[in-house]
Amino acid sequence: MKKKLVTSHWVSVHGFVARPNGEMDWIPPDPDMSAYELDLVRSADGLLLGSGTYADFAGFWPAVAADPSAPEEQRLYASELNRLKKVVASRSMTQALWDDTVFLSDITANAVHAVMETLGRIVVYGSVGVVETLARRKLVDEFHLLSHPVALGGGTPLFRAALDLRFVRSRTFASGVTLNVYRPAP
């Protein structure tokens, strides 16, 4: 089992993950990007999410897998998310909103390594505060940044502190979104 912690984020050209009031209406539909996301979760053994992202995901994705009116790619993605073990990084949340959920009360190296030892490959979506803590503690193996061709002019930045990264690879989708994969610099 290959142990790896990967973050995946949709970002504007300025590195914002949401508009000033949290809106994410700037993300265009893109079948190729959807296929990338599906492949990413298919290769994962678990999700690590902050409580806000977890609540958002749990309020939407569990029902999509069985919804015949949902697009097929969404149903496939939802089925994969439902399959994964969910790890919620939260000091206060203790009530599971989704099947196969456990809680991580503190993001320490030992705690994260124990989760990885049990699960293997973990994907982190959203959860900016969690990602900041993981990055600061040098626990992220790869950052997958899906850079959208839009300048939001402000909003929620993915990174609030300096972080040295090493470029690994890039891929451009038909919509103009570019996937840039980085690893933390040694």
| Encoded amino acid at 42, one letter | R
User: For the residues 20-43, what does the mean pLDDT come to?
Assistant: 92
User: For the residues 1-5, what does the mean pLDDT come to?
Assistant: 84
Calculated CA dihedral for residues 110, 112, 116, 122, nearest 10 degrees: -170
Look at residue 2 in the predicted model and tell me its pLDDT: 79
For the stretch 56-103, pLDDT in tens is 999 999 999 999 999 999 999 999 999 999 999 999 999 999 999 999
Whole-angstrom distance, CA of residue 152 vs CA of residue 75: 30
Look at residue 1 in the predicted model and tell me its pLDDT: 60
pTM score, whole prediction = 0.94
Q: 104: part of which helix (H) or strand (E)? A: strand 101-104
Look at residue 148 in the predicted model and tell me its pLDDT: 96
Other CB atoms within 10 Å distance of the CB of residue 107? 21
In the chain, the N- to C-terminal Cα span, in Å, equals 24
Helix, strand and coil percent figures for the chain, each rounded to 5: 30, 30, 40
Q: Has residue 55 got a pLDDT over 70?
A: yes
Residue 173 neighbours by CB under 8 Å, 6+ apart: 30, 32, 33, 36, 179
Whole-angstrom distance, CA of residue 174 vs CA of residue 165: 26
User: For the residues 23-41, what does the mean pLDDT come to?
Assistant: 92
For the stretch 119-158, pLDDT in tens is 999 999 999 999 999 999 999 999 999 999 999 999 999 9
Whole-angstrom distance, CA of residue 88 vs CA of residue 40: 19
Look at residue 29 in the predicted model and tell me its pLDDT: 83
Residue of 98, 74, 76 lying closest to 87 (CA atoms): 98
Contact 102, 85 (CB under 8 A): yes
Provide the token pair at 52: 């806000």
Provide the token pair at 109: 């190296």
pLDDT confidence band for 28 (50 / 70 / 90) = confident
For the stretch 99-115, pLDDT in tens is 999 999 999 999 999 99
Burial of 67 (0-12, 13-18, 19+ CB in 10 A): exposed
